[in-house]
Amino acid sequence: MIANYGYKDGSGDFFISIDTDRCDGCGDCVEACPADIFEMVEDEFDIEAENDVAAVTSEHAKKLKYSCGPCKPASGFEKAELPCIRACGPDAIGHSW
Amino acid sequence: MAEVEKGAEYWRWTESRWTNPEMDWKDGEVVSAGVDVGSVSTQAAVMVDGKLYCYSSMRTGSNSPESANNAMKWALEGTGLTIDDLHATVGTGYGRVNVPFAAKAITEIACHARGGNFMYGPGVRTILDMGGQDCKAIHCDERGKVKAFLMNDKCAAGTGRGMEVFADLLGVHINDVGEMSLQVEEEPPPVSSTCVVFAKSEASGLLRQGWPKEKVLAAYCSAMAHRVVTLLERIGVEPEFAITGGIAKNPGVTNRLADELGVKLAKTDMDTQIAGALGAALFARALYLKKIKGKK
């Protein structure tokens, strides 16, 4: 399942997508993110799932533009070089902007 | 300016309850229930052996546990059932952890997918829940399992609460807003503000310019439809497409939405507001069956 966390407002689309079928529950993104936007949660959409999956905390989901700002191109990062995307082995994390 | 009757509550949508006259819960084996405590409305649905038996839909008060209790009591009124007779209950919605008699809380996204699948049939692939305080776009499979979702709960544009504000401003009852907005000969340009507060100021200005109420409503309904369409673009629309939640009852928004997307809306004869509670009741049934199977 693809979970989209974030929002759309007058200044653009700010969504982080997590592919829960790819996410193996390792938690490396939680460690890697300098803004602490990720957490590991029980997979609420699959009652049979054994491992936890990554999710964006509700605190950060409504301010992603600002939480993720320090890692964005304007701050000298390439999109593929984002700490969370680099940390994710199974390639489950995507950014819309 | 539009004439507004003093003390009238135009935003107050009709609360309702229903019992299936052709069913008797005593004949059934498993009685499962779902309670959807939303930000604006609370629904309780009771199913007997996977068929809808009764439900209620009412306003959420300031106290979530009390709202859940009241909705369930009202749903069970006159049926002879009590909360103790329910084999399993699942809570969902924004107040899901506050349902005192629920065995489990499940996210409303999963419940809307499951409930929408039950309500509109297994052919539904995209479900848009236009709730009181947020808007969710969900892709699901033929069993009602979520494949992708997107939720907007940061902004009130495109929500039922926004529509309530407009009903109040114009002095048109919320149940009539949709039909009235369709009574324009020519579609006016949509209001330009997406924010409910600024859209309301903009509408006041249009009224002052002498626009009739139906034209202002048309401008707001199409702005709301457009706003939701841009949100849907992110996850895409796969037919069949269905809308749940309170706004699904507003043809002023749903017709414009379908036109803009170029799709046909799936139809149902059930109350679209109970989709979440219905999904929760279906989950409750599945969990209960799993539990007794494990015991055998």
Q: Which of A11-15, A73-77, B33-37, B48-52 is the least confident region?
A: A73-77
Residue B1 pLDDT exceeds 70: no
Of the candidates B106, B149, B287, which has its C-beta nearest A3's C-beta? B149
| Parallel/antiparallel/unpaired status of strands B41-48 and B31-37 | antiparallel
How much of chain B, in percent, has pLDDT values that exceed 70?
Answer: 97
pLDDT (tens digit, 9 = 90+) per residue, B62-106?
Answer: 888 999 999 999 999 999 999 999 999 999 998 898 899 999 999
- Nearest-Cα residue of chain B relative to residue A63: B154
CA distance A2 to chain B (A): 4
| Contact in structure between B258 and B140 (CB atoms under 8 Å) | no
Look up residue B191 and give its DSSP letter: P
CA distance B141 to chain A (A): 11
Q: Which domains does chain B have, with CATH numbers?
A: 16-121+273-295 (3.30.420.40), 128-265 (3.30.420.40)
CA distance A14 to chain B (A): 11
| Contact in structure between B32 and B53 (CB atoms under 8 Å) | no
Q: Between chains, do B147 and A1 touch, taking CB under 8 Å as contact?
A: yes
CA distance B283 to chain A (A): 10
A62 contact B CB<8A: yes
Of the candidates B145, B154, B194, which has its C-beta nearest A7's C-beta? B154
Select the residue from A2, A5, A8 to test the B interface by mutation, using most B Cβ atoms within 10 A.
A8
* B134 neighbourhood in chain A, CB within 8 Å: none
In this predicted structure, what is the pLDDT of residue A73? 83
Of the candidates A1, A46, A47, which has its C-beta nearest B148's C-beta? A1
The confidence band for B294, taking pLDDT boundaries of 50, 70 and 90, is confident
* B192 neighbourhood in chain A, CB within 8 Å: none
- Nearest-Cα residue of chain B relative to residue A21: B147
Q: Between chains, do A4 and B234 touch, taking CB under 8 Å as contact?
A: yes
A47 contact B CB<8A: yes
In this predicted structure, what is the pLDDT of residue A74? 79
In this predicted structure, what is the pLDDT of residue B4? 59
Arithmetic mean of pLDDT, A62-89? 87
Answer left, alpha or beta for residue B264, where phi above 0 means left and psi between -120 and 50 means alpha.
Answer: beta
Residue B61 pLDDT exceeds 90: no
pLDDT (tens digit, 9 = 90+) per residue, B180-202?
Answer: 999 999 999 999 887 889 999 99
In angstroms, the CA B105 to CA B98 distance is 9
A57 contact B CB<8A: no
SS in 3 state form for B22-87?
A: CCCHHHCCCEEEEEEECCCEEEEEEEECCEEEEEEEEECCCCHHHHHHHHHHHHHCCCCCCHHHCC
Q: Is the N-terminal amide bond of A81 cis, ω within 30° of 0? A: no
B146 contact A CB<8A: yes
Residue B27's nearest CA partner among B11, B54, B49, B58 is B49
A14 contact B CB<8A: no
Q: Which domains does chain A have, with CATH numbers?
A: 2-95 (3.30.70)
Q: Between chains, do B234 and A62 touch, taking CB under 8 Å as contact?
A: no
pLDDT mean across residues, chain B? 91
Residue A48 pLDDT exceeds 80: no
The confidence band for B133, taking pLDDT boundaries of 50, 70 and 90, is confident
